[in-house]
Amino acid sequence: MAFTIRRASDLPREAAWDAVTDLRAHTAHVPLTDVEVPDGGLVLGAEVNAVTRLGPVAGSDRMLVTALEPGRRLRLVKTGWFLRGWADITVDDDPAGSRVTWTEEIWLPGLRRQTRPVGDRLGPLLFGKVVEGLVAGAERRRGGS
């Protein structure tokens, strides 16, 4: 099972895409976490790393770009030792502007059956704030909703 977050916006599709795929900007919406994107940006095969730190303890969420349709779809597969899963982010045209759909599954390696339901419950709380923050921020900057 996966969780899905949907967010409609009056932003044009390209602007919504730019907002939700600015992975470095996710840092502002995920406490204690810095997202590192390679210098070449989001390209097929690129590795993104989200590092969460609490004092001396740190965890790394490594993700590989496995599908990319610029302006439309990004798929990240979690490849790290701490988290596994995937995220599929799409942005579609909508009569009012655009629609962001973020679908994801997360689990701990070796404990998929036990931990995926926890990810399904907690994921919308965390990633819903990320999607809302990114899209709302882009709307404010543009003077939209």
Indicate if the pLDDT at residue 145 is higher than 70.
Answer: no
| pLDDT band at residue 82 under the 50/70/90 scheme | confident
Please state, in angstroms and rounded to a whole number, the distance separating the CA atoms of residues 115 and 45: 27
Indicate if the pLDDT at residue 144 is higher than 70.
Answer: no
Please state, in angstroms and rounded to a whole number, the distance separating the CA atoms of residues 20 and 39: 18
pLDDT of residue 1: 81
Query: How far apart, in Å, are the Cα atoms of 87 and each of 26, 55, 56, 67, 136?
Result: 14, 28, 28, 10, 21
Average pLDDT for residues 63-84, to the nearest whole number?
96
pLDDT of residue 59: 87
User: Which amino acid is present at 40?
Assistant: G
| pLDDT band at residue 133 under the 50/70/90 scheme | very high
Please state, in angstroms and rounded to a whole number, the distance separating the CA atoms of residues 131 and 145: 15
Structural domains in the chain, CATH included, are 3-142 (3.30.530.20)
Average pLDDT for residues 13-18, to the nearest whole number?
98
Give burial (CB, 10 Å; 0-12/13-18/19+) of 24. exposed
Percent above pLDDT 70 for the chain: 99
Q: What is the mean pLDDT of the chain?
A: 94
pLDDT of residue 86: 97
Average pLDDT for residues 43-47, to the nearest whole number?
97
Partners of residue 48 on adjacent β-strands: 63
**Over the stretch 100-116, which tens digit does the pLDDT of each residue have?**
999 999 999 999 999 99
Give SS3 for 129. Answer: helix
Indicate if the pLDDT at residue 5 is higher than 80.
Answer: yes
Please state, in angstroms and rounded to a whole number, the distance separating the CA atoms of residues 61 and 80: 6
Give burial (CB, 10 Å; 0-12/13-18/19+) of 97. middle
